[in-house]
């Protein structure tokens, strides 16, 4: 159950930040300015994903 919550948290984060990103991109297009995605956000989701995959692999390997 804890592992499922571990997958749910990044999914919710991706939905929230995806909606925010869409709004920011729409605004930047209308204003004619560049709106880069913050590296810290990309790094946080990447590190979180790697941790989830690693933990899942360890737990599945321990059951086999």
Specify the pLDDT at position 6: 83
Residue 2 reports pLDDT greater than 90: no
Specify the pLDDT at position 63: 86
DSSP one-letter string for 2-59: HHHHHHHHHHHHHHHHHHHHHHHHHHHHHHT---PPPHHHHHHHHHHHHHHHHHHHHH
Q: What is the pLDDT of residues 20-63, one digit of tens each?
A: 999 999 999 999 999 999 999 999 999 999 999 999 999 888 88
Mean pLDDT of 9-25: 93
Give the pTM.
Answer: 0.74
Structural domain boundaries, residue 19: 2-63
> What is the count of structural domains for the chain?
1
């Amino acid at each position: 159950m804890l592992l499922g919550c571990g997958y749910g948290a990044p999914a919710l984060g991706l939905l929230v930040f995806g909606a925010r990103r869409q709004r920011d991109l729409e605004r930047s297009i209308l204003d004619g300015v560049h709106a880069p995605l913050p590296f810290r956000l990309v790094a946080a989701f990447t590190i979180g994903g790697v941790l989830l995959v690693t933990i899942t692999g360890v737990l599945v390997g321990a059951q086999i």
